Amino acid sequence: MSELRRAVQTIRSARCTARVGAVSGTQGAKEALRDAALDALRDLDVETLLASIGVREIARRAGTSPGSIYHHYGSMAGLAESVTAHVFAPGVADLDGTIAYIRSIQHSQLPMETSLALHGAELDRLMDDEQFGLRVGLWAFGGPGVRTAYRDYLIEIDERLAQVATALFESWGRVLREPFDMRSYLAARTALVNGSTVRHSVEPDLFTRAHYQRVAAALDLVLLRVEGDKHSVDGRLAEINYYPATSSGPGKDSVRGRATHARILNAAASAFSSRGYDGTTLAHIAAAADVSTTTLHRYYRTKHALASALFAQQAGDLLPAVDPVTPHQPGRPDDSRALLEHLAALADLVPPRKAAATAYLTDVLVGQAGAGPDSLVVGVTSLLEHAHPDREPEADHDTARLLIGLTVREALNHPARAASDNAATALRQVLGTGTG
């Protein structure tokens, strides 16, 4: 049976399917015909597509006889293989201009205009590529063999671009964020530009060239990081995905809100311990606390703020409680000694909590630790009031922050030194005495 007859038979079979078992009534028959036509489209391949055009029509367009098809290709299947190989030949894609442009900006400073120009040129290349529509059409209706050819085509295209893209990123001091590598990055870029080309071609006034340029630039900003930045893509998205707290949902001060807050702090402590501060993202903490990143951001917008609050909480839990109303009692160590011992206990907490203590140090020195005075600041302020009753109460609050900050700094800078020595150094720097 000739290829043409097989194609005709396939089409007739689809028509027959519409009649076999068709429901009674005009509307039922109409829907059955439509469904049969859809099934026939799903079963198409390149050979059937060419056969439906017809040997005579193809030969007429070539200005030759129908028999020349069989002379040169042996069969319609042979012609279909040749068409597929040509459409998906990497050499057909004009990448020379793109590669030349990438090389020309290799030592630029990654300005916005350069990024937009690069992405705009890539969209223009596909819009001018006559084979682009054929690739998309054959991918949709050419069958499994065409999908394999398309995959191989994309792999070869990516290999040509990978070398120049790698050199470009190196000149910018950029690397890809996990979990992306160069192959998956280029695959994402290809998926974006191919889909954007289709949409731009059918609705150029809605999805403009400028829209695509900015979407592609945004993708690069998320997927690329400066060398030394340890954030993964998930971590970067978690930082971007911030929404101010709204009235919806339980308040942070409700029973449920406090329980959520405690889970977040516990998850952060565990994550910092197992992954390290640099290896932990807000996304990791949110997942471990079983909350969304949006919920986590209602409590802490940044990892720094979360780490600072965690240290303040741990210090409040582990340090001896200070009762601001208890008067000095006989037999109790004098108040100056109590202040030194309290600061020494604080210094002892710092070395195993280096990252969180560093974050807290920054905040306590500039008065930003928590929404208000934390328990650590309140306790040291009370001790100062007992040890130096002649001081102004307002000054004690600021002095307490300074004492805490310097104690933490000494413990960070001298982790092997005795905690009491670090505390005494901080006291001397602030009050001119180590013991009172």
* Residue-level pLDDT, tens digit, the chain, 436 residues: 454 445 445 555 555 554 444 444 677 888 999 999 988 888 889 999 999 999 999 999 999 999 999 999 999 999 999 999 999 987 756 788 888 888 888 776 656 778 888 899 999 999 999 889 999 999 999 988 899 999 999 999 999 999 999 998 888 788 999 999 999 999 999 999 999 999 999 999 999 999 999 999 999 989 988 777 777 888 777 666 654 444 445 566 777 888 899 899 999 988 988 888 888 999 899 989 988 888 898 899 889 999 999 998 888 777 776 655 454 444 345 667 888 888 999 999 999 888 889 888 888 876 554 444 577 888 888 888 877 776 665 567 788 888 999 999 999 999 999 999 999 999 898 887 544 4
Residue 235 is predicted with a pLDDT of 75
The token pair at 230 is: 């340890």
What is the model's pLDDT at position 401?
85
Tell me: the pLDDT tens digits for 168-221? 888 878 899 999 999 999 999 999 999 999 999 999 999 999 999 999 999 998
Which fold would CATH assign to domain 90-229? Answer: Tetracycline Repressor; domain 2 (1.10.357)
pTM: 0.53
Taking the CA atoms of 75, 78, 79 and 80 in sequence, report the sign of the dihedral they define: positive
* Predicted pLDDT at 133: 93
Cα–Cα dist 120/148, whole Å: 29
> CB under 8 Å to 37, separation ≥6 — which residues?
14, 18
Q: For residue range 364-386, list pLDDT tens digits in order.
A: 876 554 444 577 888 888 888 87
**All CATH 1.10.10.60 domain ranges in the chain, comma separated:** 246-301
CB distance 150 to 96 below 8 Å:
no
pLDDT, position 80: 94
How high is the pLDDT of residue 394? 58
Cβ contacts of 88 within 8 Å, gap of 6 or more: 135, 138, 146, 149, 150, 152, 153
Give start-end residues of each CATH 1.10.357 domain in the chain.
Answer: 90-229
Integer Cα distance of 99 and 250 in angstroms: 54
Q: Which CATH class is domain 246-301?
A: mainly alpha
d(CA 168, CA 406): 44
Q: What pLDDT is stored for residue 111 in this prediction?
A: 62
Closest CA to 369 of 383, 354, 357: 357
**Phi then psi dihedrals of residue 302, to 5 deg:** -130, 160
Beta-strand relationship, 174-176 and 224-226 = antiparallel
Per-residue confidence (pLDDT) for residue 257, from 0 to 100: 84
Q: Which residues pair with 314 in a beta bridge?
A: none
